[in-house]
Amino acid sequence: MEDVLRIAIQKSGRLSEKSLEIIRNCGIDFQTDSRVLKEKASNFPIEFLFVRDDDIPTYIKDGVADIGIVGRNEFDESGYYLDVVKDLKFAKCRLSIAVPNDFQYEDLSSLNGKRIATSYPGIMMKILREKGVDATPVVVSGSVEITPQVGIADAICDIVSTGTTLKMNGLREAEAIYYSSAIMIARPGFTNSVSKKNGILTRLLERIEAVELAKNKKYILFNLPAEKLDEAARIIGGMKSPTVTPLMDKSWLSVQSVVSEDRFWSVFEDLKAIGAEGILVMNIEKMTE
């Protein structure tokens, strides 16, 4: 029991699927039944706690779970002092000020004396105070976008991703004031502790990083006239030398290497231009540096 890492994950919502996918891509097997609260992995010492995202920071603070995956916005709004172990870079969104189309908005100072509806009063007021804006928060837990129409707020401060919800409610995104993505959090000091649980977390993070590293890389394999090897190595560049295998026909070589996705097409074209043939490209599942 002691030596199981407990991870709190959103039960059902925007973070759930991707959070589980990250763990599953680490080769960790488990059942997912949305009706259960707890679930143990079958081949790794980890236990899942499926809860509402709002509760995740509290569970970590109280030690109910060791780590959790939550939106940075929920974490910051909780105001708890916890460690951010890793930015998982999904569920990206922003917290924006949005105003009715007829609102004369110039900058944040246009909000002086106004009522702003939000579910994130902590984050919003901190930022407004830093900018010297004196506005009144109207705290609502949902349907923030309808508050100007019903007359309880002059503007809103809400999570935006595509902006469709704002448009559908006759609002205009005036200014993004904060950016969020899903993060992994832990109790303060947990990641520095000498404990079996932290050892499990280290193993988990190594696996997550191996998957991340592989995601932006392609494995490339091609045949090349032997005299072009130096040129090919220059084109591929930026890494340890490629693996080179002689072919039966001594004037040709088989070359293998790893190329980052953003450079892939230019590398591909340049290799073709120097006479590379039979270029094979493969996705990499996992990788270490």
Of 5 and 15, which CB lies nearer to ligand PRT in the complex structure? 15
Residue 71 contact partner, candidates Zn ion, ligand PRT, none, CB within 5 to 8 A by sort of partner: ligand PRT
Classify the phi-psi angles of 275: left when phi > 0, otherwise alpha if psi is within -120 to 50, otherwise beta: left
> Cβ 52 to ligand PRT, closest distance in Å?
4
Q: Using CB distances below 5 to 8 A depending on partner kind, what does residue 158 bind out of ligand PRT, Zn ion, none?
A: ligand PRT
Q: How far is the CB of 156 from Zn ion (least distance, A)?
A: 17
Strand partners, 214: none
The DSSP code for 146 is G
Residue 91 binding: pick among ligand PRT, Zn ion, none (C-beta 5-8 Å cut-off by kind): ligand PRT
Structure token pair of residue 54: 């709002």
Q: In whole angstroms, what is the distance from residue 98 CA to residue 145 CA?
A: 9
Cβ-based nearer residue to ligand PRT, 162 or 251:
162
Q: Write the CB contacts of 271 (distance below 8 Å, at least 6 apart in sequence).
A: 222, 224, 232, 235, 236, 279
Query: How many binding residues for ligand PRT (CB under 6 A)?
Result: 21
To ligand PRT, the closest distance from the beta carbon of 9 in angstroms equals 10
Please, which of residues 150-169 interact with ligand PRT by CB under 6 A?
158-165
Q: Which residue is nearest to ligand PRT (CB)?
A: 71
- Neighbouring residues of 74: CB distance < 8 A, sequence distance ≥ 6: 53, 54, 56, 57
